[in-house]
Structure 1
Amino acid sequence: MDNENKKPNRLIDEKSPYLLQHAYNPVDWYPWGYEAFEKARREEKLIFLSIGYSTCHWCHVMERESFEDEEVGDILNRYYVSIKVDREEHPDVDNYYMGVCQALTGSGGWPLTIIMTPDKHPVFAATYLPKEDSYGRPGLKTILLKINELWQKDRERLITTGREIVSSIKKLERTSPGELDPGVIDKAFETLKASYDRKYGGFFGAPKFPMPCTLLFLLGYYDYRKDPEALEMVKNTLKNMYKGGIYDHIGFGLCRYSTDRRWLVPHFEKMLYDNALVCFVCAEVYKITRDEFFKTFALEIIDYVLRNLKNPDGGFYTAEDADSEGEEGRFYTWTPQEIRQVLGDRAGKFMENYNITERGNFEGKNIPNLIGRDLSCKMDEDTRKKLFEYREQRVKPFRDEKILVSGNSLMIASLFRAYGITKNENYRKEAEVALNFILERARGADGRLHVGYRNGIMKARATFDDYSHLLWALLEAYEYTLDTGYLNKAKSLADEMIDLFYDKEAGGFYLTGSDVDHLPARAKDTDDGAVPSGNSVAAFSLARLSRLLFDSGMDELARNQYRVFARRISANPVYHTFFLYSFIYALTGGIEVIIAGERPEKFTNHLIENFFPYAVWAHADSLKEIIPAYENYGKIGSMTAAYVCKNGSCKSPVTTLEEFKEALGFDGHKT
């Protein structure tokens, strides 16, 4: 859209790329904040709230159809106060109103459309809406006019409706504690097994998402039950994702999801968090199988992230768009003529292997894929580079350059895992640079963590998910570097997290801090979706931290997570797969290793190279001054020693790698 002769609205002063994309709309947009709600109260108008993100295809569609339209702009400006929210800048706002939408309509997604009273009480919720009525369903124009008419004629009815909706949401948020039955772990596995696509991998049919939380749970289940079927489900799913069009075979990196069962046609946007977590899973599967494919998959994802999403000063950008030049997938699709032009004599073999045809498999063009082919058909590196260099001349998709705490934390954890299986020092360095960028740049003048950074600190204060994911990253950083500073930072962050978010009466953590009051209620999120929930990661990370700090109070806090959310988890176990991954840790007690002596890598190398999902380790020598309990651990004579406790039972200290493997119960886990 040509903005040269257009007057910008107040979004022009925002940092969010998504908000800036709407800065020249005829809609008189406000960012989320006091000014908008005060105007709505003063002028007695309803609020039109639109939530999305910069790389969302249907958000772009709704903007082109409605928000760039003068007629829609006139209706909104006359009758409503309009607020535009970037869901990644205000994840708490998005979470709350997405819960409203799901409660009212049974589904959710983006763009999220909410109409609410000046008191932030919702009266209408939907996702994408076309401008005009279609197929007997009202469009945006009709809805805006009808609800405004009701507001003018029967305001009290709408106000009452809004209050009742908020009251209902509050009731849904209430938790009733209980004991979580270990049988829920097997129940979740059986449900996943029943929904598993044995041919193409994945679960629950199309559309298919990567679901890394589910894959991690299955790896945890494999460790817990030694059930080879759990591992096979993960391996087959990863291999079929890699073969499909959801994976970018030319430039690497995974797209958001597949619209079909075979993983062929993706929603082309690429998100940092998806790629980070799938990389993490691949590294763990490699540790079990020693199959080079899984290492390659992980390292190709990292190659993509470091090339396309890396900020030169540190940290990683959020996403790349599905669209370019106004078309979804244009950057990623090919014609046979282009392939012949680039590859010459090699074109025929490539087209046969990657399913390139004259008819095409996506709107007359082709998404390269290896569906139905063996992985041995994968192109050589010279071929890939030729195609990549040609594609680089195209107009590239938009890149969202927000550096978010949560997504970066997940990528940092994945880089450390990749370092563990490769010993590539660059991965460790990139992880530490990104981590220190977040720690230094994402805190405000008052010391409070914010959601992220883009040309300066972003204004929204960090949510609980940001804190819990960052805690996870700090624990990975400590174990993979044994730098005491990271453990100190983890302890400090955990204390701050508990102070800001913990419900001291009922237990569990709120998504918003006690210093944030811009929503009708504080919610507790537990669903493990594209990323694990803050509450499930907190259960896992606080348990790990408690063992490193010898802090029984923190361990009790972690265990209480399963009591507080027992009924939620039991009711829908497959929506709480990372919770169950961490619950296995609580049930088994995991493995604790304390190393004393000058060469801790003698033992830590074995831990980071092999599959020990529920192990924690520490170097006693560097921790004695801050944690007195480590004074009890020393060398055996002049030799570095490892003290191993497994499933609550401690063994005699060992000094050789062979003894260490025996103490761990190492069996290779190879399948």
Structure 2
Amino acid sequence: MNNPKRSTSKNSYNHLKNEKSPYLIQHAKNPVDWYPWGDEAFEKAKKEDKPVFLSIGYSTCHWCHVMAHESFEDHEVAALMNHVFVSIKVDREERPDIDSVYMTACQIMTGTGGWPLTIIMTPDKKPFFAGTYFPRESGFGAIGLKDLILNVQDIWNDNRGEALNSGDQIYKALQDVSKTVKGPELDENVLEKCYDELSKVFDNENGGFGDFQKFPTPHTLIFLLRYWKRTANKHALYMLTKTLDSMAKGGIYDHLGFGFHRYSVDKFWLVPHFEKMLYDQALIAMLYTEAFQATGKSNYKEIAEEVLTYVLRDMKSSEGGFYSAEDADSEGVEGKFYLWTMEEIQDILGKEDTKFVSTVFDVKEDGNFSDDYSHESNNKNILHLKYSFDELNDILGMETDKIQEKIENIRLKLYNERKKRVHPHKDDKILTDWNGLMIASLAKAGQVFKNSKYLEAAKDTADFIIKKMCTNSRLMHRYREGDADITGNLDDYSFLIWGLLELYSAIFDTKYLKTSIELNKTLINHFWDNSNGGFYFTSDDAKQVLIREKKTFDSATPSGNSVELLNLIRIARLTEDYELESMAIKMETTFSRNILRSLTGHTQFINAVDYKIGPSYEVVIVGKPTNPDTIQMLNSLNKHYLPNMVLILKDPDNPGDLDEISESLKFKNSIDGKTTAYICGSGSCKKPTTDVVEMLKLLEQ
């Protein structure tokens, strides 16, 4: 091999200089001659007859940082990469369409995936090698990046046919993944089987599922809540509450500043992967809100409110949207911002309170977790609650309210001291899909907790997205520094529609209901597969990556198709548009074979099936919004856990444009001038009532 020229000065920029993504900007001064995804890079690869090195990650990813520091900032590795490849950097959060296609390719080729995602492909975008993190040097049976580059160069120069053939095979496999074969409609047996499968992998001792890493997966836990609501199955409720309690006590929860870290690397919920993602906060806060509504347990309300405190305090932009994430690392060390030594705590609190903290938060002189993960000395502690309050009553000889008061005083002292540390990096881009989830979560919490602050925040965010990221019912995916860009995908539409439907149900401003209906029309017009049913991830007029994917599998967030299935059913019931109901059924049969092959990977889809099976209800309250009887009816509905319900409030003196949304609304009026509830469900309507107790009885039938 000819010796590659040494890469450019570390003070010069590569082709990422003018990008908006914080992740791409982090790599703009790498000696690797990175390009953003686009025609320029692929034309260069064709012209120079080079393979493409694609690296996908995100700004708060710990192992992305490690690979960057070890290899992409190293001039020797960069020189090799620049000689052999045209190199492209992609922010997976900014371009989930690219990430999804090549992550699927990685899983096909290796059986696993993760970030940083490393793909080597032909200039026509067909992958022939895939992996995740690679160290700089080979060792311990693993190939290093330097050797990998040289191996690929040899293959490209001497055995290119093998690489091209592999690329063609993977391309065909990717096409096959999105193919669907029509199956049956799903019935109640699916709910039973999904519950049975979750029961088999439930961790009775620690909560959660499996015996290794633990992810919150709120959509799966919400399935258990709905299943319990339908069946009164006590074990389903136990699985839910055990998991919620364990998560809230564990190190995965930030007990000082609030909010949940992404996942725990152990089965005990103790040692987290320390990054904080907006979508996790949104979905988990919604989960705890619904759990409070269903069980009445005040600690679930407290956790939901604490999570929202964190989001509103640390993640809200001045313009109204919410930022994406906070890093796991600070000062180059994962978790450093969150970890404590006993000595540090004693310097702040004194001996007596440190003794209390040691008991309550399991703080130890030599640390309370393995140091392999932190790369720090072994005297670090992750604050977590080792005991329940009932146990602490006996251990400390104190009443619960006194313990809680003391914990709060200590929390504030430690939190204020922690604020002086170097904070983790914040990814300040605003994403439509994740903000849609946040709108839904805030609206639900505002409705259930009667908290106007949450409702105002949800409105602010919805107004921001509609004003800054939406034109003629077409959405943009990413906003940063005044720039809205990247064509909206399925998740952007389905998640925002969900948020707007929840917001309407909480404040009854028809603007948000009408916007959700218009966005749904856009989604159908540009994403629906007219031949086979279901929604593609990208629109018909977006520039396609390699294939046009159509997926249902839930990941850390529920799939766009699953969310949209429930959106279709809810909008159909609100508007009496039965074509949407038929579309939902076609969608169900399109994907049912996929669902049946992996029930626990499709819990959000199954939640929509639960709604379709029923009983589910359409409720119209006719009354003045400020009338005490109207307020009493709405408050009574909000106190009860009624997940399979859509709700409309009609002001009899000022119906506005509600009558345009649903034909029958014009015939629903108050009886004898009193606030009146109209309840329909399962193909029939009940007799309207002005009595709150009677209304609730009709909803429990």
Measured against the shorter chain, the TM-score band is: over 0.9
Alpha-carbon distance in structure 2 between the residues aligned to 1:4 and 1:398: 25
3-state SS in 2 of match to 1:230: helix
Alignment partner, residue 622 of structure 2: 596
Q: Is the 8 Å Cα contact of residues 538 and 544 (structure 2) preserved in structure 1?
A: no
Within the alignment, does 1:628 sit opposite 2:658 as a pair? no
**Further displaced range: 80-89 or 584-593:** 584-593
Within the alignment, does 1:607 sit opposite 2:633 as a pair? no
The offset of 1:614, in angstroms, is 0.6
Q: 1:286 to 1:313 in 2, by over 3 A?
A: same
3-state SS in 2 of match to 1:645: strand
Q: Is the 8 Å Cα contact of residues 186 and 609 (structure 2) preserved in structure 1?
A: no
Alignment partner, residue 255 of structure 2: 249
Alignment partner, residue 370 of structure 1: 385
**Further displaced range: 394-403 or 34-43:** 34-43
The offset of 1:617, in angstroms, is 1.1
Alignment partner, residue 213 of structure 1: 219
The offset of 1:264, in angstroms, is 0.6
Within the alignment, does 1:359 sit opposite 2:366 as a pair? yes
3-state SS in 2 of match to 1:460: strand
Alpha-carbon distance in structure 1 between the residues aligned to 2:343 and 2:530: 65
User: 1:292 pairs with 298, 318, 321, which one?
Assistant: 298
Deviations 1:110-167 (A, max 9, x none): 0000000011000011111111112122111111111121111232332222111101
Q: 1:447 to 1:550 in 2, by over 3 A?
A: closer
Deviations 1:544-573 (A, max 9, x none): 011111100011112222101011000000
Spell out the pairing of 1:269-288 with structure 2 (5 A cutoff).
Answer: 269-288=275-294
Alpha-carbon distance in structure 1 between the residues aligned to 2:211 and 2:280: 19
Deviations 1:386-418 (A, max 9, x none): 000000000000000011111111111111111
User: 1:38 pairs with 23, 36, 43, which one?
Assistant: 43
The offset of 1:5, in angstroms, is 6.0
The offset of 1:223, in angstroms, is 1.6
Alpha-carbon distance in structure 1 between the residues aligned to 2:322 and 2:46: 40
3-state SS in 2 of match to 1:459: strand
Within the alignment, does 1:473 sit opposite 2:499 as a pair? yes
3-state SS in 2 of match to 1:13: coil
The offset of 1:373, in angstroms, is 4.1
Spell out the pairing of 1:53-72 with structure 2 (5 A cutoff).
Answer: 53-72=58-77
Alignment partner, residue 136 of structure 2: 131
Alpha-carbon distance in structure 2 between the residues aligned to 1:134 and 1:651: 72
Q: 5+ unaligned residues in a row in structure 2: which ranges?
A: 1-7, 372-377, 391-399
3-state SS in 1 of match to 2:362: coil
Alignment partner, residue 601 of structure 2: 575
Alignment partner, residue 436 of structure 2: 409
The offset of 1:645, in angstroms, is 1.6
Alpha-carbon distance in structure 2 between the residues aligned to 1:213 and 1:5: 45
Q: Is the 8 Å Cα contact of residues 126 and 167 (structure 2) preserved in structure 1?
A: yes
Deviations 1:467-503 (A, max 9, x none): 1000101101111111111111011100001111110
The offset of 1:589, in angstroms, is 4.6
Alpha-carbon distance in structure 2 between the residues aligned to 1:327 and 1:443: 39
Alignment partner, residue 481 of structure 2: 455
- Structure 2: which amino acid aligns with 1:594? V
**Further displaced range: 107-116 or 615-624:** 615-624
Alignment partner, residue 453 of structure 2: 426
Alignment partner, residue 396 of structure 1: 423
Q: Is the 8 Å Cα contact of residues 438 and 452 (structure 1) preserved in structure 2?
A: no
Spell out the pairing of 1:22-421 with structure 2 (5 A cutoff).
Answer: 22-182=27-187, 183-344=189-350, 345-362=352-369, 363=371, 364=378, 365-374=380-389, 376=400, 379-421=406-448
3-state SS in 2 of match to 1:421: helix
**Further displaced range: 364-373 or 389-398:** 364-373
Alpha-carbon distance in structure 2 between the residues aligned to 1:7 and 1:228: 63
**Further displaced range: 211-220 or 181-190:** 181-190
Alpha-carbon distance in structure 2 between the residues aligned to 1:137 and 1:4: 30
Alignment partner, residue 682 of structure 2: 647
- Structure 2: which amino acid aligns with 1:361? N
Q: Is the 8 Å Cα contact of residues 10 and 30 (structure 2) preserved in structure 1?
A: no
The offset of 1:447, in angstroms, is 6.0
Alignment partner, residue 13 of structure 2: 8
Alignment partner, residue 661 of structure 1: 696
Alpha-carbon distance in structure 2 between the residues aligned to 1:118 and 1:589: 53
Alignment partner, residue 536 of structure 1: 562
RMSD: 1.6
What is the number of equivalent residue pairs in this alignment? 663
3-state SS in 1 of match to 2:504: helix
Alpha-carbon distance in structure 2 between the residues aligned to 1:626 and 1:372: 52
Alignment partner, residue 669 of structure 1: none
Alignment partner, residue 5 of structure 2: none
- Structure 1: which amino acid aligns with 2:102? Y
Q: Is the 8 Å Cα contact of residues 180 and 570 (structure 1) preserved in structure 2?
A: no
Q: 1:395 to 1:74 in 2, by over 3 A?
A: same
Q: Is the 8 Å Cα contact of residues 419 and 427 (structure 1) preserved in structure 2?
A: yes
Deviations 1:490-541 (A, max 9, x none): 1110000111111000100000111123312101121112111000000001
- Structure 2: which amino acid aligns with 1:67? F
Deviations 1:281-307 (A, max 9, x none): 100010111111000000000011111
Q: Is the 8 Å Cα contact of residues 50 and 85 (structure 1) preserved in structure 2?
A: yes
Alpha-carbon distance in structure 2 between the residues aligned to 1:65 and 1:54: 16
Q: Is the 8 Å Cα contact of residues 480 and 608 (structure 1) preserved in structure 2?
A: no
The offset of 1:442, in angstroms, is 1.5
Alpha-carbon distance in structure 1 between the residues aligned to 2:196 and 2:269: 23
- Structure 2: which amino acid aligns with 1:442? M
Alpha-carbon distance in structure 2 between the residues aligned to 1:592 and 1:533: 25
Alpha-carbon distance in structure 2 between the residues aligned to 1:28 and 1:574: 42
Alpha-carbon distance in structure 2 between the residues aligned to 1:546 and 1:431: 24
Q: 1:102 to 1:216 in 2, by over 3 A?
A: same
Q: Is the 8 Å Cα contact of residues 442 and 457 (structure 1) preserved in structure 2?
A: no
Alpha-carbon distance in structure 2 between the residues aligned to 1:281 and 1:511: 26
Alpha-carbon distance in structure 1 between the residues aligned to 2:125 and 2:14: 23
Q: Is the 8 Å Cα contact of residues 591 and 616 (structure 1) preserved in structure 2?
A: yes
3-state SS in 2 of match to 1:96: helix
* % identity of equivalent residues: 44
Deviations 1:317-376 (A, max 9, x none): 111000000100000000111111111131111112111111102432000111344375
Alpha-carbon distance in structure 2 between the residues aligned to 1:196 and 1:627: 44
Q: 5+ unaligned residues in a row in structure 1: which ranges?
A: 667-671
The offset of 1:94, in angstroms, is 0.5
TM-score scaled by structure 2?
Answer: 0.92
**Further displaced range: 287-296 or 605-614:** 605-614
Q: Is the 8 Å Cα contact of residues 617 and 646 (structure 2) preserved in structure 1?
A: yes
The offset of 1:663, in angstroms, is 1.3
Deviations 1:182-230 (A, max 9, x none): 2121111111111111121000121000110110111111122221211
